[in-house]
Amino acid sequence: MTLLIGVTDDLETCLHLRRVVFMDEQNVPEADERDGRDGDAVHLLARKDGIAVGCARILRMGDTGKIGRVCVLPGWRGTGLGRALILACLDVLRAEGMARAKLGAQVHALGFYERLGFVAEGPVYDDAGIAHRDMVRDLRA
């Protein structure tokens, strides 16, 4: 079994994965999920034995890379895929010379991101009907 995660131009597959996870499973409205920023983003796609199973995107904001739209298909959760996807995002940001990574974590996933070196900051807020909290990680250390 081979897991490959990398930067991709296959936005159609990423959007399909995001539809399955965010719109179908989590009931995020399409208007919230499709925010018009995908053209400005770097997209990462995870494939297990050639099958697309997860994705993420990175938006550049000065010296900060904002990781978002992180999704893993239900059957692949708990396998380490989410961790591998975030680590791949961090590798991309470091290669681009970014000073820090930022993301909006669903509150239930705060511990997952903390184990990857992210620190929560600011209050909990609503994003598409789901409680989130911003998290940051310094990439210079």
List the domain boundaries for the chain.
3-100
**Tens of pLDDT along 80-115?**
999 999 999 999 999 999 999 999 999 999 999 999
CATH 3.40.30.10, applies to 3-100: no
CB atoms under 10 Å from CB of 19, counted, come to 16
pTM: 0.94
DSSP label at residue 22: I
Residue 1 scores a pLDDT above 70: no
The residue ranges of DSSP E strands in 9-129, in sequence order, are 42-48, 51-61, 64-72, 100-106, 119-127
| Residue 55 near residue 14 (C-beta atoms within 8 A) | yes
**Tens of pLDDT along 55-80?**
999 999 999 999 999 999 999 999 99
| Residue 78 near residue 66 (C-beta atoms within 8 A) | no
